[in-house]
Structures are given as structure tokens and as C-alpha cells.
Structure 1
Amino acid sequence: MRIAHLILIGTASLTLQGCLAKTAFNVATAPVRIVSKGVDLATTSQSEADEKRGREVRKREERVGKLDRRYEKQRKDCLDGERSACDDARRTYEEMQVLVRSLPSESGDGED
């Protein structure tokens, strides 16, 4: 009985040493992990920034497409003699030009 008791105590002490070492390691590295997580949350990676820029560009392109369709309809109405459509077409065209200037150029610089 005494031998079994000694073996149990020996095994428990070895196991506890591993647990204590792991706990000490976790406590020692906790500040580094916390700061690292904070930096990750506070900064935007390049790929995230690129994705955001891409979404913004697509939204502007969609808006230009809608304005272009509206402009063509207003221009047609203007040609049919509807005076207010001429003014509307002019304003729509101006809005389209502002958006087009903010879009990246498609000069064939090798990027797809």
C-alpha cells in the first residue's frame, strides 16, 4: 500500500510540474498576446484596404452606369422636345463626369 501511495505521489508531482510550467508560460506570454491582438484589431492589413478600395470603386462604377442610363433616357426625351429633360440631362451628365474623374484609369498598365 505504501509503494502504491509513493508511486501515486510521484506521478502526481510530475504531472503537476507540467501544469505549473504551462501556467507560468501562459502568464508570461499573456501581455504579448494581448498587445498583439490589440494591434491586429487597430490596424488594417493591405489586403483589407485593397478590398475596401475595390468595393468603393465598384459602387462608383455602378452609380456611373445608373447615371448613364438615366442620361440616355433624358437625352432622348430632350431630343423629343421635352425642355425639362434637357436640363435634367445636363445635370446628370455633370454628376457623371465628377464620378468618372474619381475612378481609376484603365490605361492598360498590366493590372487585372
Structure 2
Amino acid sequence: MRRALSPLLLVAILALPGCIAKAAYDVVTLPVKAVSKGVDLATTSQSEADEKRGREIRKREEQLGKLERQYQEQLQECADGNRRSCDDARDTYAEIQLIVPTIPAELDKD
């Protein structure tokens, strides 16, 4: 029984320092990993900021398109004699004027 236990004991003795070293390494690097992860979560990369800005611009462009279609319909109804549509068209035009400056102009690539 004693001879069967010796190889097992030898393997355990050789493997144990590796486990202890790995555990010590994990304990030492844990604060660095935690801080790194926190900084990563707290900061926004330039590409993330660009994507967010692009989504906001597209949303405003969609809203502008919707208002412009609505405005054209209201103008047509106003021309047909509907006074209420004239007032609505005026309000819609005011909304359009608020959105237009928030959309960047596209540069010509000549």
C-alpha cells in the first residue's frame, strides 16, 4: 500500500507548486483586471461615439422626411380651401425649421 501511495504523492508534490503559483498570479492580477474592465466600461471609443452620432442624425433625417411629406399634404389641402390645414402646415413648417439646423450638410465630392 505504501508503494502505491508513493507515485501518487510524488505527482501531487510536483503539481502543487504550479497550482499555488497560478492561484498567487490570479490573486495578484485581479485588481489590475478589475480596474481595466472598469475603465473599459466607463469610456466610449471613437467608433462607438461615431456610431451613436450617426444613429441620431439618421433619426433626425427620418423625422424631417416625415414632416416634409406631412407639410406637402397640408399645403395641398390648404390650397383646396381647408383653413385648418393652413394652420397645421404653418406649425409643421416651424417644426421643420427647428430640425434642419441639426442635420449636417453633405459636402460635394467634386
2:36 aligned residue: 36
Q: Between 68-77 and 100-109, report the one with greater CA deviation.
A: 100-109
The TM-score, its normalising length taken from structure 2, stands at 0.89
TM-score by length of 1: 0.88
Q: Describe how 1:16-27 pairs up with structure 2 within 5 A.
A: 16-27=16-27
Structure 1 gap ranges (5+): none
Equivalent pairs counted in the alignment come to 110
- 1:94 partner letter: A
Q: CA deviation at 1:5?
A: 3.1
How far off is 1:109 after superposition?
Answer: 5.7
For 2:44, what is the secondary structure of its paired residue?
A: coil
Q: In structure 2, what is the equivalent of residue 61 of structure 1?
A: 61
Code of the aligned partner of 1:27? V
Q: Once structures 1 and 2 are overlaid, which stretch shifts more, 70-79 or 39-48?
A: 39-48
Give the Å deviation of 1:8: 2.1
Q: Which region of structure 1 is more displaced relative to structure 2, 37-46 or 101-110?
A: 101-110
Q: Which moved more, 1:4-13 or 1:47-56?
A: 4-13
The residue aligned with 1:89 is 89
Task: State the 4+ residue runs in structure 1 displaced beyond 6 angstroms.
Answer: none
The aligned counterpart of 2:76 is: 76
* Letter aligned with residue 63 of structure 1: Q
**Structure 2 unaligned blocks of 5 or more:** none
Aligned partners of 1:11 and 1:108: how far apart in 2? 73
Q: Matched residues, percent identical?
A: 59
TM-aligned CA distance change 1:99 to 1:20, over 3 Å: same
Shift in CA distance, 24/109, structure 1 to aligned 2, threshold 3 Å? farther
1:84 deviates by 2.1
The CA RMSD over aligned residues, in Å, is: 1.7
How does 1:89-108 map onto structure 2 within 5 Å?
89-108=89-108
